[in-house]
Amino acid sequence: MKEKLRLETLMVMEAKDQKKNTPHVLPIYASSAFGFENIEHGIEVFKDPASSHIYSRFANPTVDTVAKKIADLESYGIEGEHFALLCNSGMSAIHTLLTALLKTGDTILTQANIYGGSSELMTKVLGDFGVKTIFTDLRDLDTVDNYLNNDPSIRVIYFETPANPTLSCVDMKSLVQLAKSYNCLSVSDNTFASPALQRPLDFGVDFVLHSTTKYLNGHGNGMGGAIIGKQDYYQQVWGKYKLIGTNPSPFESWLLHNGLKTLALRMEKHSDNAMSLATFLDKHPKVSVVNYPGLSSHPDHSIAKSQMSKFGGMMSFELKGGLEEGKRLMNGVKICKLVPTLGNVDSLILHPASMSHLHVDKELRLKAGITDGLIRLSVGIEHIEDLKADLGQALDAL
Ligand SMILES: Cc1ncc(COP(=O)(O)O)c(C=O)c1O
């Protein structure tokens, strides 16, 4: 057949792998769509899209394989089937899930100290579609109970634990019990901890979110997000996902898969380095407060200890000299890089008031403990003595 075809036709035809061995490493299926053997096969797949592949906005073999791995990690040891959907960013995962769970007139109950983009998404995007957001301290269970009791429109309780960037932690088990008694769903953004250190599904949380851009990828070379939940909710969430089109590229999913292979090792080293650095900073005369859930002085230390196996690589601290010293410190460090992301192998430093939380209402920001002089540090996996020396010399020079 091929010999009779013209050269132009041969060029257009898809190349097929002639060898039978399966690849050792996950292949990248850079294909927007999938063909059918005949019309009967096509009808069969369209009737049950989950049985095969149709179009990469709906599902893609590379993306699905990585999603399944993340679902397995987050639901490790938990009965029942769970799904994961990968998205093209953490924000698109949050947007997709909240869109799938909420409608006009519904309310989200959350905390002020979540990632600035998440609170902005709630107030500025979902707010325009008639979804209200209430910000409160989710550690205060009486206040939460009061809100739930008085406002039946609250459909979702949304939290980060530890939260960005003050590292405050909520008691997931108690919060979820309370939410369930009012028929309200719970959503946990587990970006800071990762499933290597904490699995919110263990505490009864209904949905877990990730910015996979951070620890799950770990190398800062790809954007992504993930939604994880019980299989019963798959159709409801996937139905919105495929229409909104928040699917990631197979290549970025593949990079994420590479990162996942070293997640446990990295999280252990991030945690050990951060614990050591937090202790060092806590004793430093130029530092007034260190927010790290691993320190026994942290207000949420005991709850963090009951939910996490180690305390992760994120911390924030306040300099006695406030904003001006904060800026000077950031210009003084050499190993820590001034980069507005977190969870990478290298140490990254950020000034939330002028960067990640710049567009968050100042009153809301201060209420959440994000003061003008707060510095956020994503502790990397470098040698701890080099990190101490770097921050030490920058602090001494203030
Ligand atoms: C806790 C948390 N959730 C969600 C996001 C948003 O993720 P992305 O930047 O991948 O959209 C971020 C970003 O910094 C974050 O820190």
107: in domain:
yes
18: in domain:
no
Q: Are residues 273 and 202 in the same domain?
A: no
Q: Are residues 255 and 340 in the same domain?
A: no
Q: Are residues 361 and 249 in the same domain?
A: no
Structural domain count of the chain: 2
CATH number of the domain to which 370 belongs: 3.90.1150.10
17: in domain:
no
Least confident range of 18-32, 103-117, 273-287: 18-32
Is 214 an active-site residue? Answer: yes
Q: Are residues 251 and 190 in the same domain?
A: yes
The pair of three-digit structure tokens given for residue 267, joined into one six-digit string: 């999280």
Q: Are residues 187 and 137 in the same domain?
A: yes
Interhelix angle 263-282/384-396, rounded to 10 degrees, is 30
* Domain stop point among 227, 260, 293: 260
Average pLDDT, stretch 348-355? 84
The pair of three-digit structure tokens given for residue 44, joined into one six-digit string: 């069969």
Closest CA to 167 of 317, 342, 327: 317
Q: Are residues 227 and 306 in the same domain?
A: no
Site to probe by mutation for ligand 1, drawn from 86, 91, 228 as the one with most ligand atoms within 8 Å of Cβ, is 91
Three-state SS for the chain is CHHHCCHHHHHHCCCCCCCCCCCCCCCCCCCCECCCCCHHHHHHHHHCHHHCCCECCCCCHHHHHHHHHHHHHHCCCCCCCEEEEEECCHHHHHHHHHHHHCCCCCEEEECCCCCHHHHHHHHHHHHHHCCEEEECCCCCHHHHHHHHHHCCCEEEEEEECCCCCCCCCCCHHHHHHHHHHCCCEEEEECCCCCCCCCCHHHHCCCEEEEECCCCCCCCCCCCCEEEEEEHHHHHHHHHHHHHHCCCCCHHHHHHHHHHHCCHHHHHHHHHHHHHHHHHHHHCCCCEEEEECCCCCCCCCHHHHHHHCCCCCCEEEEEECCHHHHHHHHHHHCCCCEECCCCCCCCCEEECHHHCCCCCCCHHHHHHCCCCCCEEEEECCCCCHHHHHHHHHHHHHCC
In which region does residue 183 sit, left (phi positive, over 0), alpha (psi from -120 to 50) or beta (all else)? left
CATH number of the domain to which 113 belongs: 3.40.640.10
22: in domain:
no
Is 76 an active-site residue? Answer: no
Is 115 an active-site residue? Answer: yes
**Domain extent for 315:** 263-396
* Domain stop point among 225, 260, 295: 260
129: in domain:
yes
pLDDT at position 274: 98
| Residue 2 pLDDT > 60 | no
Environment class of residue 42 by beta-carbon count within 10 Å: exposed (0-12), middle (13-18) or buried (19+)? middle
32: in domain:
no
Confidence of residue 19 (pLDDT cuts 50, 70, 90): confident
Radius of gyration of the chain (CA): 23
Could you read off the pLDDT of 73-88 as tens digits, one per residue?
999 999 999 999 999 9
Q: Write the CA distances from 314 to 79, 113, 208, 290, 374, integer angstroms.
A: 31, 14, 19, 11, 13
Could you read off the pLDDT of 167-220 as tens digits, one per residue?
999 999 999 999 999 999 999 999 999 999 999 999 999 999 999 999 999 999
176: in domain:
yes
Q: Are residues 305 and 178 in the same domain?
A: no
Q: Write the CA distances from 356 to 10, 98, 118, 170, 390, integer angstroms.
A: 51, 22, 11, 22, 24
Closest CA to 90 of 180, 219, 216: 216
Confidence of residue 22 (pLDDT cuts 50, 70, 90): confident
pLDDT at position 178: 98
Q: Are residues 304 and 198 in the same domain?
A: no
CA of 258 to the centre of ligand 1 (A): 20
Site to probe by mutation for ligand 1, drawn from 87, 98, 110, 118 as the one with most ligand atoms within 8 Å of Cβ, is 118
5: in domain:
no
Q: Are residues 117 and 177 in the same domain?
A: yes
Q: Are residues 208 and 300 in the same domain?
A: no
The pair of three-digit structure tokens given for residue 350, joined into one six-digit string: 């950020």
Average pLDDT, stretch 48-61? 93
Residue 212 CA: nearest ligand 1 atom is 10
Q: Are residues 80 and 173 in the same domain?
A: yes
Confidence of residue 3 (pLDDT cuts 50, 70, 90): low
CA of 114 to the centre of ligand 1 (A): 10
| Residue 1 pLDDT > 60 | no
- The active-site residue out of 189, 206, 300, 390 is 189
pLDDT at position 339: 93
Could you read off the pLDDT of 216-233 as tens digits, one per residue?
999 999 999 999 999 999
* Domain stop point among 239, 260, 281: 260
Is 55 an active-site residue? Answer: no
Q: How many CB atoms lie within 10 A of CB 225?
A: 28
Q: Are residues 172 and 277 in the same domain?
A: no
